[in-house]
Amino acid sequence: MNTDKEKTSYLIGLQVAGNLLAQGVDLDIDCFSKGITGGLNQEACEIPPEEANALLQKLEAGIKEKLQKQRMEAAMANRTAGEEFLAENAKKEGVTTTESGLQYKVITEGDGVIPTATDTVETHYEGTLINGEIFDSSIKRGQTVSFPVSGVIKGWQEALQLMPVGSKWEVYIPFNLAYGEAGSPPKIGPFSALVFTVELIKIV
């Protein structure tokens, strides 16, 4: 490959192949090459239209089924990992588990008023997955965040209504008190347990 056209053609071929492999498409390389050549040369398709449509529909259905299976397997892995994490975490010193399954550990105990569901609060926080990967952080942004207590995920709602102003807690939230079965793509997968460091600064 000497010219830009040759190199670009090669790179496009690699990209197409990579996309097909990522989707799990099983191809005959010789026939695939024949199809590419025929398409670029604007040749007529050698397969009758009705059969061609049926084959492509079958391929699309197979890809969708495989992707759905992969998503379900990943979701179940998230759920299992979260349950195991919370079960082990509950045994640690200083960790309290509430009736709902929410867990928290007091880092700093404030002496202010405890918010109610109708209050708006100002907080600093950092949220991570159970593997420690940060998905959101007002601390890193260097700017506090205010929101209604009733306007956040259930785990936050419960924790905030237990925290006196001035407190800093580490909060461990099971998936059903976080973003549930759907998660919050792209950073939070389905059935994900979450960990937050939450500092309750004041009731606004």
- Active centre residues (catalytic): 125, 135-136, 153, 179, 196
3-state SS assignment for residue 56: helix
Instruction: From 36, 45, 42, 44, select the one nearest 9 (Cα to Cα).
Output: 36
Give the DSSP letter string of 113-133: PPP-TT-EEEEEEEEEETTS-
- Please give the DSSP secondary-structure letter assigned to residue 3: S
3-state SS assignment for residue 20: helix
Q: 166: buried, middle or exposed (CB in 10 Å: 19+, 13-18, 0-12)? A: middle
Instruction: From 198, 193, 194, 188, select the one nearest 125 (Cα to Cα).
Output: 198
